[in-house]
């Protein structure tokens, strides 16, 4: 009798062929079928799976009173999901890259600053590599690829270590495996308002300001720059096409008062200032391990946005100085050149990451220090300057000329400077130099508009962190999302969706359920999606992007009210 029971357990777990096991296991619920599938994907072999199932049964009998706020069935599901999450993390740790295992072994015994460096290395190791998006077509292709390419191979370690390309949940599992090996204290972090939403809106405002400035001053920008800035202006509207999906990063406690957010799939890394709220949530979550808590850091985000806009204002002031030089007919050319090199032009040159290669910037820096041969003989500059200049001034002029040499219109100016001419041709030379200098300034002004965007946007180097997040103990939530993901790409079972929504109260779970209305427009609208939408629509949502998406769902519901599944009720 005992042997027969073990055999049936194996059949139900999928250890024997489906044709053999069908009669015994066709009574299993959709949830149990997916749970069995996930357990197989997170276990190295069949004997280990059976041992895990037996140990889980024993542990359940010991811990069944832990979740008193739920009914018996819900307590069992919470326990199973937590155990699945633990199993997935352990399995990922067993398969973790040796380099990351070595970093994890170093983490525990190191200083707080070294731990931060190790977190940075972990972030860089897991960073999702994507090409920059510079047009509406590229963005829509990226959105479609992200929505359609979500196979189960991206969430289980055995598959993504073989095939590569783990999604955010897969990368979170690798970080959780790292944390387990490093004995690090962590919290799962799901953005309710992602940093990208703030950055895209901010960058649209900056791009619109730059285009208006160029139009107001009749600046001829290159067509590709105009096209890019116009795309950035329209991007907030385009980005709202993408329905939100579950996303997960991790918070590492690297010291008692310091937490580092690592989110390599969203390209976010940094530390929050208000860490007291994170530490308090971590403490509370120890007693509510399936609980989900929210934390608001919008005040920190606002400071970074304001600082970037202030920088835009100061750079625009510098731009007006160059424009004044370009329109002045009375200013002596030598005086104009000295005024240029005494301005903030080198802040522009050495920070111009978009247009100036690193090796060229290094050469310009050498010129600034007088450590490289001059571009133009100093003797040829004296008639132009009309005075004997200090060595530092000459070095700055040579560095400016080194930069000018990179520009097509600057080559004519350098050519005219590079030859000594007789006294009777000095007047003609001065006129030609003045004209080429005006052309050069026009080119600089046009280029500077592109630099304004690079310097004032909220890029990766600004470490803009998610302003509103949900925090939780990771094991239970990993189990929830593994089941949810497999259900979404295989069975699409309404029963599974409702069961998960019932035991996991996080807003991000409701968002995922509600926005399924947009992801699966060809199917009848599910009752769980409608209920989740109703909850969200009546809640206080701070995300502008989500508000727009909820309006789209409302329009969809108004057009498809007759397509509700009656049997789901």
3-state secondary structure of 153: helix
Q: Is 556 within the bounds of a domain?
A: yes
Whole-model pTM over 0.85: no
443 lies in the same domain as 511: no
Percent of the chain past pLDDT 90, that is, above it, reads: 34
Q: pLDDT band at 566, cuts 50/70/90?
A: very low
526 lies in the same domain as 401: no
Give the DSSP letter of residue 190. Answer: E
> Which stretch of 71-80, 253-262, 440-449 has the lowest confidence by average pLDDT?
71-80
431 lies in the same domain as 518: no
Give the other-Cβ count within 10 Å of 86's Cβ. 20
Q: Is 163 within the bounds of a domain?
A: no
Cα 444 to chain center, whole Å? 32
From residue 73, give the alpha-carbon distance in Å to each of 64, 68, 78, 303, 379. Answer: 10, 11, 9, 47, 90
345 lies in the same domain as 453: yes
356 lies in the same domain as 417: yes
337 lies in the same domain as 445: yes
391 lies in the same domain as 511: no
Domain boundary among 23, 52, 87: 87
Q: Is 169 within the bounds of a domain?
A: no
Question: Tokens 């890029």 correspond to what residue?
Answer: 459
Confirm if 491 and 523 have CB atoms less than 8 A apart. Answer: no
Q: pLDDT band at 206, cuts 50/70/90?
A: very high
Q: What is the pLDDT of residues 83-96, one digit of tens each?
A: 999 999 999 999 99
Looking at beta carbons, which pairs linking 255-263 to residues 24 or more positions away fall under 8 Å? 255/112, 255/115, 258/112, 258/116, 259/187, 260/116, 260/119, 261/189, 261/465, 261/466, 262/119, 262/122, 262/123, 262/126, 262/175, 263/168, 263/189, 263/466
Average pLDDT of the residues in 444-465: 86
Looking at the structure of the chain, the number of domains it has is 3
Residue 390 to residue 395: CA distance in whole angstroms: 9
Q: Is 442 within the bounds of a domain?
A: yes
Domain boundary among 87, 111, 129: 87
Task: Show the domain range for 431.
Answer: 311-460
* pLDDT score at 447: 87
Confirm if 251 and 189 have CB atoms less than 8 A apart. Answer: yes
Q: pLDDT band at 475, cuts 50/70/90?
A: very high
Domain boundary among 87, 109, 141: 87
């Amino acid at each position: 009798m005992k042997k027969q029971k073990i055999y049936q357990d194996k059949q139900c777990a999928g250890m024997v062929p489906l044709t053999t096991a069908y009669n015994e296991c066709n009574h299993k619920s959709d949830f149990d079928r997916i749970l069995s599938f996930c357990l197989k994907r997170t276990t190295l072999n069949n004997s280990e799976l059976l041992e895990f199932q037996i140990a889980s049964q024993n542990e359940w009998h010991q811990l069944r009173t832990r979740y008193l706020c739920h009914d018996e069935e819900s307590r069992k599901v919470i326990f199973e999901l937590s155990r699945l999450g633990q199993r997935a993390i352990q399995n990922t740790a067993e398969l973790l890259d040796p380099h990351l295992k070595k970093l994890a072994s170093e983490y525990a015994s190191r200083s707080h600053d070294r731990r931060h460096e190790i977190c940075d290395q972990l972030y860089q190791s897991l960073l999702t590599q994507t090409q920059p998006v510079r047009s509406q077509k590229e963005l829509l292709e990226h959105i479609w690829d992200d929505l359609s390419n979500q196979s189960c191979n991206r969430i289980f370690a055995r598959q993504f270590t073989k095939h590569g390309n783990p999604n955010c949940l897969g990368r979170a599992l690798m970080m959780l495996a790292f944390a387990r090996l490093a004995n690090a204290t962590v919290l799962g972090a799901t953005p309710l308002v992602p940093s990208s939403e703030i950055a895209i809106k901010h960058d649209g405002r900056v791009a619109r300001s730059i285009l208006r400035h160029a139009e107001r001053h009749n600046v001829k920008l290159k067509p590709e720059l105009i096209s890019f800035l116009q795309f950035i202006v329209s991007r907030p509207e385009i980005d709202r096409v993408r329905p939100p999906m579950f996303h997960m990063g991790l918070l590492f406690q690297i010291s008692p008062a310091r937490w580092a957010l690592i989110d390599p799939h969203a390209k976010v890394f940094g530390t929050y200032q208000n860490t007291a709220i994170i530490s308090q949530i971590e403490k509370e979550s120890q007693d509510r391990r399936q609980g989900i808590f929210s934390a608001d850091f919008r005040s920190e985000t606002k400071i970074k946005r304001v600082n970037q806009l202030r920088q835009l204002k100061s750079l625009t002031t510098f731009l007006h100085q160059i424009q004044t030089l370009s329109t002045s007919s009375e200013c002596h050319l030598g005086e104009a050149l000295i005024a240029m090199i005494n301005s903030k032009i080198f802040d522009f040159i050495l920070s111009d990451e978009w247009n100036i290669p690193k090796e060229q910037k290094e050469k310009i820096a050498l010129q600034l220090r007088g450590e490289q041969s001059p571009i133009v003989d100093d003797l040829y500059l004296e008639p132009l300057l009309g005075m004997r200049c200090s060595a530092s001034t000459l070095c700055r002029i040579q560095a400016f000329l080194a930069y000018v040499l990179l520009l097509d219109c600057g080559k004519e100016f350098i050519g005219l400077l590079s030859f000594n001419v007789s006294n009777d041709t000095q007047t003609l030379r001065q006129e030609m130099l003045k004209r080429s200098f005006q052309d050069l300034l026009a080119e600089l002004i046009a280029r500077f508009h592109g630099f304004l965007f690079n310097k004032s946007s909220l890029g990766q180097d600004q470490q803009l962190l998610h302003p509103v997040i949900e925090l939780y103990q990771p094991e239970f939530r990993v189990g929830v999302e593994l089941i949810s993901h497999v259900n979404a790409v295989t069975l699409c079972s309404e029963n599974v969706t409702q069961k998960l929504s019932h035991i996991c109260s996080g807003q991000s779970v409701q968002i995922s359920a509600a926005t399924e209305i947009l992801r699966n427009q060809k199917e009848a609208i599910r009752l769980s999606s409608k209920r989740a939408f109703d909850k969200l629509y009546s809640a206080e949502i701070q995300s502008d992007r989500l508000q727009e998406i909820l309006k789209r769902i409302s329009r969809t519901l108004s057009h498809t009210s007759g397509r509700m599944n009656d049997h789901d009720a």
